[in-house]
């Protein structure tokens, strides 16, 4: 395959395994990269030490390019009143599981924007590609990463964000549609245009000049082919890789993804403090009914969400977990990351051939 994105990185397949904090692993990323795609590790929710280990581990498993993903959200502002109100909202659920929560909620991980050590780590280790989610870092950071020879990409959910990415001098745009599993990459958490992947690819293709990476609701090679037809240079698949052997998604989460439960997903702010799409469980359908105005900042809300999930898990319940999944989640297949990557490549080839033979 030869697209603007495969040329940029000298890789064989127009396929990125999405970075997925808490799910993707060095093993997953390396398998994808070793089979011609671009594997990704997500260090947005990691400590510096964990990030360092993940990068080093991936390096031992592949000599191919891989992507390292960071979160560029505005650092959380503590708001004791809002946090107390949120804990009060959650209190009946903790009572249900007979567990008293910690009420001193914390910002459980630090934004890349406030982590100079993380920047130093990237400059020292020089992964082939770094990707930004939830916004962009300042120009000085972008300049330093570019000067180190690192290719840069970022998520856009609308034309304004895509134009900002282009103006910042990045190499490609991840066009994340509303179908996508996990967190919306929106720059401003209060502003979401909710554009679908199909529309977004075409809009960005027409109005920007950078290679477009389609993301959201793509589960097989035919979906990748469709994205390429619309003008994308690659596709980034997240949910499809959640039930792979190399995933660290819990067994319960993976089992639900492979069950009829995967047929319905919804966006909620109640789990982490920012909008994200997952399979509907009680934290979405019940807790999420609260007025969003009382949700503490991301990721302070996540501290409460993770405590509640841990409490529910003591009774074997997945009803309060972050079961991130995209709208096409019911098409997920259980296999290992190498097999999935090879299957996607074969399906893509077949889809493109059958399309051109029909022409």
Report which secondary-structure segment, H or E, holds 39.
strand 39-42
- Residue 24 or 62: which CB sits closer to ligand FMN? 24
- Residue (of 24, 25, 34) closest to 57 by Cα position: 25
Which residue's C-beta sits nearest to ligand FMN? Answer: 238
Measured distance CA(191)–CA(206) in Å, rounded? 23
**Burial level of 67, CB count in 10 A (0-12/13-18/19+)?**
buried
Q: How far is the CB of 219 from ligand FMN (least distance, A)?
A: 7
Q: Using CB under 6 A, list all residues that contact ligand FMN.
A: 18-21, 23, 42, 44, 69, 133, 155, 176, 179-183, 215-218, 236-240, 242, 324-326, 328
Q: How far is the CB of 242 from ligand FMN (least distance, A)?
A: 6
* Sign of the torsion angle spanned by Cα atoms 31, 261, 265, 316: negative
Q: How far is the CB of 184 from ligand FMN (least distance, A)?
A: 9
Instruction: Take residue 262 and report the two structure tokens written for it.
Output: 């995967």
* Sign of the torsion angle spanned by Cα atoms 289, 292, 294, 296: positive
Q: How far is the CB of 87 from ligand FMN (least distance, A)?
A: 25
- Residue 150 or 328: which CB sits closer to ligand FMN? 328
Q: How far is the CB of 82 from ligand FMN (least distance, A)?
A: 25
Cis peptide before 299 (omega within 30 of 0): yes
Strands (E), 146-233: 151-156, 172-176, 182-183, 212-215
CA dihedral 42, 158, 284, 133 (to 10 degrees): 20
Q: Is 69 helix (H, G, I), strand (E, B) or coil?
A: strand
- Residue 87 or 351: which CB sits closer to ligand FMN? 351
Q: How far is the CB of 86 from ligand FMN (least distance, A)?
A: 23
- Residue 18 or 201: which CB sits closer to ligand FMN? 18
Residue linked to tokens 């745009």: 173
- Residue 216 or 288: which CB sits closer to ligand FMN? 216
- Residue 99 or 203: which CB sits closer to ligand FMN? 203
């Amino acid at each position: 395959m030869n697209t603007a994105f495969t040329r940029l990185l000298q890789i064989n397949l127009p396929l990125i395994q999405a970075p997925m904090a808490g799910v993707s692993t060095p093993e997953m990323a390396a398998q994808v990269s070793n089979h011609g795609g671009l594997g990704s590790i997500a260090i947005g929710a990691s400590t510096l030490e964990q990030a360092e280990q993940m990068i080093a581990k991936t390096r031992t498993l592949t000599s191919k390019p891989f992507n390292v993903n960071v979160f560029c959200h505005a650092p959380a502002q503590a708001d004791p009143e809002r946090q107390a109100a949120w804990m009060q909202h959650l209190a009946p659920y903790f009572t249900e599981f007979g567990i008293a929560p910690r009420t001193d909620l914390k910002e459980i991980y630090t934004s890349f924007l406030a982590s100079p050590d993380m920047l130093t780590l990237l400059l020292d280790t020089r992964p082939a590609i770094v990707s930004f989610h939830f916004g962009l870092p300042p120009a000085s950071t972008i300049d330093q990463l570019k000067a180190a020879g690192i290719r840069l990409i970022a998520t856009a959910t609308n034309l304004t964000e895509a134009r900002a990415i282009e103006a910042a001098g990045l190499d490609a745009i991840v066009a994340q549609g509303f179908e996508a599993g996990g967190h919306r990459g929106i720059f401003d958490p209060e502003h979401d245009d909710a554009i679908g992947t199909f529309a977004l690819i075409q809009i960005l293709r027409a109005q920007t000049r950078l290679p477009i990476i389609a993301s959201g609701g793509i589960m097989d090679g035919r979906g990748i082919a469709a994205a390429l037809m619309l003008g994308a240079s690659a596709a980034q698949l997240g949910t499809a890789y959640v039930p792979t052997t190399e995933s660290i998604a819990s067994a319960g989460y993976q089992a639900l993804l492979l069950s009829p439960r995967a047929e319905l997903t919804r966006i909620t702010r109640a789990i982490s403090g920012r909008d994200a799409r997952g399979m509907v469980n009680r934290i979405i359908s019940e807790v999420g009914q609260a007025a969003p105005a009382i949700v503490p900042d991301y990721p302070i809300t996540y501290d409460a969400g993770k405590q509640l999930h841990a409490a529910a898990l003591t009774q074997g319940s997945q009803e309060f977990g972050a079961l991130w999944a995209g709208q096409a989640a019911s098409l997920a297949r259980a296999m290992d990351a190498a097999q999935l990557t090879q299957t996607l490549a074969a399906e893509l080839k077949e889809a493109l051939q059958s399309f051109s033979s029909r022409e």
